[in-house]
Amino acid sequence: MSSMIPRATRSALDPTASSETATDPFDGEVTLYLRTGVSDVVRDRQRTVLARLDQLAAEGAIESVRTVQWAAKARVPADGPTPEAAARYDEFADAVGAGALRPFFKERPGVGRLERVVVLPAVCLAVRNDEEVLGVCPRYDDGNHESVEDGVAALADGRVL
């Protein structure tokens, strides 16, 4: 398996691209998870994705977007509470399957006092309705890569990946 992750097409995030939004905005929760401590290139990508989601909210395609920052890794202690980022990974894995989240999320056994460590992606998009996860990007779906940019483009088209 190649370690390269496919990139979305440029038009997926083009703020000048006309989007045909649904008559009613998506009224579920749109959350963008952003890893802290990233390179300038990755930070630019994060800003571009967030700007496009903000634009979709301004256009009425989605009601709003919530941003959450997380670290590069979530360390789950063997004898303590599960960190929020690891709980989100578990929620996403339950919704779409852990295999669909690889290689974007990585889960490995912990050492010593850690039960496990979850490595988190630099950008992740989650779409929920009534607290049920409807879509998570990035992921693989039936062998097709669904990038965060693809998820944003789907929202612009009135769909959820």
Please report whether residue 40 resides in a domain.
yes
Measure the CA dihedral 140/10/13/91, to 10°: 10
Q: How sure is the predictor about 140, in pLDDT bands with cuts at 50, 70 and 90?
A: very high
Dihedral of CA 147/148/153/157: which sign?
Answer: positive
Is residue 137 assigned to a domain? yes
For the stretch 104-113, pLDDT in tens is 999 999 999 9
Give domain status of residue 17, yes or no. no
pLDDT tens, position by position, 19-44: 443 456 788 899 999 999 999 999 99
21: in domain: no
**Residue 24, pLDDT score:** 67
Residue 1 resides in a domain? no
User: What mean pLDDT do residues 33-60 have?
Assistant: 96
In a domain, 135, yes or no: yes
Whether residue 18 is predicted with pLDDT greater than 50 in this model: the reply is no
Looking at the structure of the chain, the number of domains it has is 1
CATH number at residue 105: 3.40.30
Range(s) of the domain holding residue 122: 26-156
